[in-house]
Each structure stands twice: as C-alpha cells, then as structure tokens.
Amino acid sequence: MKKYDLVVVGMGPSSIFLAYELIKLNKHKNILLIDQGKRVENRICPISKTGKCLNCKPKCNITCGFSGAGAFSDGKLNSYHLTHREKGEDIYLGGNDGSYIREYYTNKEIEEILTYTDNIYLKFGADTKLFGVDYIDEILKIKKRAKKENINLISYPIRHLGTEKAHILYGKIEKYLIDNNVNMMFETEVTDIIVKDNKVCGVEVKDLNTGKESIINTDKVVLGVGRKGARFLSDLCKKHNIETKIGSVDIGIRYELSNDVMKDINKYMYEGKFIARPYPYGDKVRTFCQNPSGFVSSEVYDNGLTLVNGHSYKDKKSENTNLAILVSHHFSTPFDKPIEYGEDIATNVNRLGGNAIMVQRLGDIFRGKRTWAKDLKNNKVKPTLKSAVPGDITFSIGYRTMTDILQFIKSMDKVVEGFANPENLLYAPEIKFYSNVVVLNKNFETSVKGLYSIGDGGGLTTGLMMASASGIMMARILDKKIK
C-alpha cells in the first residue's frame, strides 16, 4: 500500500503555508493534506440568504475546508514593521504571547519569518496598506490614558484582507498547491492516528460522503486542526498518552457599538488590543478581533453549538464596530476539563436563545432586565447579526465572568468615551476553545515520535499570521527529515 512522506491533518492557514514552503523546498511530491470540509470555492455560508444557520453538511462552511477558519475571517494579519520596532514596541505574537515560539526562536529569527510570511500574503494579493504605523504618537497617548485605568494597550501593525478578499487570496493559494500537484483529500475526516511503540505510523480516515473508512500509511503526521479540532485533539492526546498541560478556555461576549465611539482606535490602529485584570478576581480580560464597520456572525461547531464571531468586508460597510471581550479561564486540579466547561456555558446560552445567538443591551444588564425585540427596534445601535435573539445572557454566563466583563467595560469607558453606552450590544456565547496545550519540543514534535502539532489547535498560535508562520517553520524543520 502507498506510503506518504507526510500526512497533514487540516487545511487551515498553518497547513497550507506548510505545503507552500515544502513546494519551495521541493519536498512536496509525496505529501497528503486532508480536511473534513470543502475546497475554498465550494465553501458558501447560506446565512446571508436564509437569515439563519442551516447547519451545513458534512461540516460548517465557515470553519472547515481549504484555508480553515481563515476563509471567512476578517483577515487581519498582525505584521512586523521596523518603524514600529524603532518606537520601542515589541513584536506581537498573539493572544498567549507566543511564549512557545519565543522560547525557541530569537527576535531576529521571528522578524525574518514574519516578514517572509507577510511577503507570501502580499504575493497572493494582500493589500499593501499597513494600519498602526502612521499614528504612533496618537497611539502612545491612548496607551498612557489606558495605563491610568490599569489597562494595557498593545499596538502592532495590521494588514487587513477583508472577508471577501481573504476568500479570493486563499483561492489563489489553493490553485498554487493544485498546480504543483500537492495531494489533497476533501470532505474526509481523520478519525484517529495509528501509534506503535510510541511512533506514529498512519492515520485512520472516513469519507464523509460515503462513510467508507480506510487507513493511510506514513511515519510523519502534522496536526493543524485549529480550534475546530480542539476536542478531536484533546481526545487524541488522552487516547495515545500524548503529553499535554492543562489548557484554558476564553469565555466572553461579542460587543457591538457605533463606529463614532471607536473612530480614533479604528483610524489609528484598525484594531486595539486592550488587556486588563479587573477587580476583584484579577482574571485576564482582553479585547480580541476588532472589526471596524463590521458585521457580527455566527458559526456552528460539531456538537451543534452555535458561537458568535465577527468580521468585516473590504468594500461592504456597516455603521458599527464589533470586537470580542474575552475572559481567560484557567483551572487547576482536580478539574482539567476547560473544553467541557466552555461547552456547558455555550449549551445553556444556546438553549435560552432557541439555538440562536443571544443579544442584550448593556443598559438592560445594568437595569437587571432582559432585552425585548421592541427595545432593539428603537435602539441606536442596530444589531448587524439579524438572526440574533434578544434575551438575557446573564442567566447563563457565570457571575465571575460577567463581573469581569462589566468591570472591564466600565474602565474602558474612561479610555474610549462611549464604550459603556447603555445602547451598546452584547452577543453570546463567544468562546475560544483550545485543546489542552500539547507539549512540543523545539521541532514542534509531540511526545509521540513523528507526530507534530502546529497552528491554533494545540495552543501554539492564536491567529492567522502566526498560524501561517508556524507552517513555514514546520516546513523548514521537515526539510531535513523528508528525503
């Protein structure tokens, strides 16, 4: 039976940049990429026509298929830029500060990889405009204001692809891989890996259209399963004794407010990353994935959970900005099930919203009342997610999480006037699942020989740029291991 030099699970940005770099290194001829979703051109989310989620089969088109969660993302790429560095700003590596990558790579090496990855995006058509480099003095003033409220503002250069353009760009990368004869299998789920004597020797797959199961032989497997595959990866680690550390889960809301309130941040930075540890719990609360003139969206996970997200187009604009406010939840012994904890919260919010995303006005939360459809009708901030159901999210999000979020919003109001306007909207549940953090060595190899993990799934990265860069790093490591 045919044996591949390498099998890559998932075709998110981490995996497709890995394949791109293996082509450059001429090591791509006998590799195989597998994804449970479709080719990028066949990935269509029907919600804009139907107004509600149809639970696409075989898998959600927003999160699965060629380019993974990147295809419908807002396409904000955290970039690296010298001007920014000269002003004393650090290189931004994502939500968890890229601590793993910092451990093994010097700043100089990281700068080289980020510039290289950025250039690939430019080559495939990314906008040359960089946000966050023209108004550094104004950004420093906002930073100072934030500091007074014990909020840290992290600034970094951003390239914005836009949802519709991200789709086109990833389509060009898909064509590049096809033109270079990279083997790709779609609508196929990897159900397990085969491990003998602590060495990987293949994967088990299931064709999602026919249900046919088969085995593919290889002695190298890269897992690039993203947040979508967090649960799959967690189960895999338990079954095969792959070493992990207890992970975390980020639970919060998607916040929507008028562009007027956010105009300075939008203009100077495109996205502001505000981080605080509000009283009394001291939990880490942060803003994430800000979308100026954007749209709130929803996505469905395997277990039927509907989660809120947000994005923005390059050309189609709304009058609102949306961003996530997330609280990091870390648990310690005896509880080691952050994914299940997050799933329980999401299940409850979904139940209360009749399986749709729930929305509530900030002022209603402070008044202790639910939001009704008529309240939204007269509200200045009009919800951009039309399928969201008005209700009371405080019924299902824990007291501690809710207190963190409300304290954070109040403090942010002193940095950005209007941030706590009563007509601002909170959507729930916004949850970022990560598998338990997979323990990796310098070569991104797990405790099972020949099994590697890159991208968001195993907790290595938390965004497009670093996920893509981790694919480049992986390819350079594998260059020496593939004949």
Binding site for ligand FAD (CB under 6 A): 9-15, 34-37, 63-65, 68-70, 72-76, 189-190, 224-229, 232, 289, 297, 299, 309, 311, 455-457, 463-465, 467
CB of 137 to ligand FAD, least distance (A): 26
* β strands within 259-351, DSSP E: 273-276, 285-291, 295-300, 306-311, 320-330
| Pair of tokens at residue 167 | 């789709």
Nearer to ligand FAD, 225 or 357 (CB): 225
Nearer to ligand FAD, 276 or 474 (CB): 474
Number of neighbouring beta carbons within 10 Å of residue 368: 8
Number of neighbouring beta carbons within 10 Å of residue 392: 16
Residue for token pair 């290289």:
116
CB of 391 to ligand FAD, least distance (A): 22
Nearer to ligand FAD, 171 or 457 (CB): 457
Give CA–CA dist 386/51, Å, rounded: 7
Nearer to ligand FAD, 60 or 276 (CB): 60
Give CA–CA dist 60/43, Å, rounded: 9
CB of 62 to ligand FAD, least distance (A): 6
Number of neighbouring beta carbons within 10 Å of residue 148: 10
Give CA–CA dist 180/210, Å, rounded: 28
Nearer to ligand FAD, 34 or 151 (CB): 34
Contact between 193 and 203 under an 8 Å Cβ cutoff? The reply is yes
Give CA–CA dist 132/40, Å, rounded: 30
Nearer to ligand FAD, 13 or 278 (CB): 13
CB of 392 to ligand FAD, least distance (A): 25
Nearer to ligand FAD, 28 or 254 (CB): 254
CB of 203 to ligand FAD, least distance (A): 9
Whole-angstrom CA distances from 316 to 162, 164, 415, 463, 477 are 10, 9, 29, 23, 41
The C-alpha R_g of the chain, in whole angstroms, comes to 22
CB of 269 to ligand FAD, least distance (A): 13
Q: Residue 355: left if φ>0, alpha if ψ -120 to 50, beta else—which one?
A: left
CB of 321 to ligand FAD, least distance (A): 13
Give CA–CA dist 463/456, Å, rounded: 7
CB of 291 to ligand FAD, least distance (A): 8
Q: Write the DSSP symbol of residue 176.
A: H
Nearer to ligand FAD, 156 or 370 (CB): 156
Whole-angstrom CA distances from 221 to 9, 33, 195, 226, 446 are 7, 10, 11, 15, 10
Cβ-closest residue to ligand FAD?
A: 226
